[in-house]
């Protein structure tokens, strides 16, 4: 299912080259320079992950509070989850869909995820 959806997504986004897979088998989608979205297949569904932006220095507490509020009920993340990498220096975003969806819903979820990444990159720049 995911392979078919990724091929259709490539056509819809008018990308010249097909999506590549990384060593873990995830499809890699370049959102912005240095910002990659990874799409992994699950037994039923898929998940999205992305390292969004380096956490801003100086106002960490305010930024983390904003991120926690964004996670509250998924309103500031469109159903995704903000987190931190293992070092605690990079804001991450993830979304897991454990059900089969049609292509239209898949494309909407991808677009929502990308828009959420862009929004939180902007939000982080406001704290720098």
**10-residue averages of pLDDT along the chain (128 residues):** 92 89 92 91 94 88 92 91 94 96 96 96 88
Indicate the pTM of the whole model.
Answer: 0.92
Quote the pLDDT of residue 56: 87
Query: What's the total number of domains in the chain?
Result: 1
Range of the domain at 101: 2-126
CATH number at residue 38: 3.30.1460.10
| Three-state SS annotation for the chain | CHHHHHHHHHHHCCCCCCCEECCCCCEEEEEECCEEEEEEEECCEEEEEEEEEECCCCCHHHHHHHHHHHHHHHCCCCCCEEEECCCCCEEEEEEEECCCCCHHHHHHHHHHHHHHHHHHHHHHHHCC
Quote the pLDDT of residue 87: 92
């Amino acid at each position: 299912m995911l392979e078919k959806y990724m091929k259709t997504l490539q056509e819809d986004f008018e990308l010249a080259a097909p999506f590549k897979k990384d060593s873990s088998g995830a499809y890699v989608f370049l959102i912005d320079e240095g910002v990659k979205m990874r799409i992994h297949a699950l037994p039923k569904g898929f998940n999205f992950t992305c390292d969004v932006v380096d956490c801003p220095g100086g106002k960490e507490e305010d930024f983390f509070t904003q991120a926690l509020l964004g996670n509250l009920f998924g309103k500031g993340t469109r159903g995704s989850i903000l987190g931190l990498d293992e070092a605690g220096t990079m804001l991450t975003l993830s979304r897991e869909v454990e059900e089969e969806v049609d292509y239209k819903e898949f494309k909407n979820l991808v677009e929502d995820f990308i828009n959420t990444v862009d929004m939180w990159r902007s939000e982080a720049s406001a704290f720098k």
